[in-house]
Amino acid sequence: MASKDGQPDLTPPRAVADAAARGLELRRRFHRGGTAVGVARARDLSNRRRLSPQTIQRMTSYFARHAVDKKASGFGNDDDPSAGYVAWLLWGGDPGRDWAERMARALDDA
């Protein structure tokens, strides 16, 4: 969806916000995963704050660099999550990756 200025609406969808909120909860419970930047990103995402095009680019870069984390033991396990899984969720999880990639393409086309 486009905003008033014809640019893509960079407000995170609910699924992205929910994944980031889950990451914050797992980080609180297990005391692992993510950096200060990842926590700040999760707060923005979970609160559905409109992001900048630069942040969308940072998200696509994060997911490209950290796709290997999905191979770690404990990835996807909410009962004993790997640090990489928690960090992945802080950035919006799979919904965040898919959304950021769509938004990056839309920004390129705008």
Q: Look up residue 33 and give its two tokens.
A: 């995963």
- Sequence spans of domains, the chain: 14-109
Report the pLDDT averaged over residues 83-92: 97
Report the pLDDT averaged over residues 63-82: 93
DSSP code string of 23-44: HHHHHHHH--S--HHHHHHHHH
Of the candidates 14, 13, 34, 15, the residue with the CA atom closest to the CA atom of residue 25: 34
Partners of 8 in beta bridges = 2
Q: Where residue 6 falls among pLDDT bands split at 50, 70, 90?
A: confident
Helical H runs in the chain? 14-30, 36-46, 53-66, 83-90, 93-109
pTM for the structure as a whole: 0.93
**What was the pLDDT predicted at 3?**
54
| Residue that is written with structure tokens 């950290």 in the block | 66
